[in-house]
């Protein structure tokens, strides 16, 4: 379940093609009464505010910190994401997806998802 929470970002990573990313996260199913797309479904939601969606997609995997670098506010949460991704065995990826101002509370992320849920992180104040 997504909980609106200021100063928070939820982060997912994986290795996807542009077509896979579009099909999973970007494309919206407006023809049915079901979830917005598979990404929303995996979160246990019918909808998420796509204006809060961010991300980066590269041609080849790069280290986590490098993948995060161009994202909004990344300098405030990058270290925490790198640490959490390392614990999950992820050292590099070519795709990161973020939802700003959203905390995902879920018992278990689906194992068949093309993205791995890294976690929800507090945006830290810059010194």
* Across 113-126, average pLDDT: 92
Q: How far apart are the first and last CA of the chain?
A: 32
* Across 81-87, average pLDDT: 98
Lookup: tokens for 122: 């507090």
To 5 degrees, how large is the angle CA 65–CA 69–CA 74? 95
**For residues 64 and 83, what is the distance between their CA atoms, to the nearest angstrom?**
9
Residue 34, pLDDT score? 83
Does residue 31 register a pLDDT over 90?
no
Can you give the pTM of this predicted structure?
0.94
Residue 126, pLDDT score? 59
User: What's the whole-number average pLDDT of the chain?
Assistant: 94
Does residue 66 register a pLDDT over 90?
yes
User: Domains of the chain: which residue ranges?
Assistant: 2-17+49-122
Share of the chain above pLDDT 70, in %: 98
* Across 106-125, average pLDDT: 94
Helical spans, DSSP H, in 44-108: 64-68, 74-87
In contact, 104 and 117? CB cutoff 8 Å? yes
Does residue 127 register a pLDDT over 60?
no
């Amino acid at each position: 379940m997504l909980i609106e929470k200021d100063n928070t970002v939820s982060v997912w990573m994986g290795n996807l093609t542009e077509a896979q990313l579009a099909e999973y996260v970007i494309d919206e199913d407006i023809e049915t009464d079901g979830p917005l797309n598979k990404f929303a479904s995996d979160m246990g939601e019918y909808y998420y505010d796509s204006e809060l969606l961010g991300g980066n997609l590269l041609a080849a995997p790069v280290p986590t910190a490098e993948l995060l670098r161009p994202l909004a506010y990344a300098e405030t949460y990058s270290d925490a994401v790198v640490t959490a991704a390392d614990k999950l065995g992820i050292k590099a990826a070519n795709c990161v997806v973020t939802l700003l101002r959203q905390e995902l509370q879920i018992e278990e992320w689906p194992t068949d998802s093309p993205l791995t849920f890294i976690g929800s992180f507090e945006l830290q104040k810059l010194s």
